[in-house]
């Protein structure tokens, strides 16, 4: 499960997006984006794990712009993808072991 979550996290981070309203997206918006962008749909990961990852992402130091890109499913810069991958991979590992 850990390897699958790390792979999912990396794929999710690559699916960063560019449009976005002002302000920081909510945990719920980020969780919905994660569910929408998971390969094979959200059935691959439980809602509790997705919510945990979304909370960690929203609480992270990722910029509002980067989070809005995630929510809007637009590709971000390579730097944004790298930072998001790091945050999501750590969150995925932490959340899967709770």
Question: For the chain, what is the domain count?
Answer: 1
Q: Write down the pTM of the prediction.
A: 0.75
Q: pLDDT value at position 29?
A: 94
CA distance 71 to 36: 9
**What are the structure tokens assigned to 64, written together?**
């509002």
CA distance 47 to 7: 17
Question: Which residue range is the domain that position 12 belongs to?
Answer: 2-96
User: 20 vs 22, which has greater pLDDT?
Assistant: 22
* pLDDT averaged over every residue in the chain: 81
Per-residue pLDDT of 39-87, as tens digits, reads 776 566 889 999 999 999 999 999 999 999 888 888 788 898 889 989 9
Q: What's the pLDDT band for 96 if we cut at 50, 70, 90?
A: confident
User: 9 vs 35, which has greater pLDDT?
Assistant: 35
| DSSP-assigned letter for residue 61 | S
């Amino acid at each position: 499960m850990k390897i699958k979550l790390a792979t999912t996290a990396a794929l999710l981070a690559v699916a960063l997006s560019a449009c976005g309203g002002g302000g920081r997206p909510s945990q719920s918006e980020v969780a919905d984006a994660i569910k929408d962008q998971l390969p094979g749909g959200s059935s691959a990961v439980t809602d509790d794990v997705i919510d945990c990852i979304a909370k960690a992402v929203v609480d992270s130091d990722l910029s509002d712009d980067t989070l809005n890109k995630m929510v809007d499913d637009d590709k971000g810069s390579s730097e944004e993808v790298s930072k998001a991958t790091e945050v999501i991979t750590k969150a995925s590992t932490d959340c899967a072991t709770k």
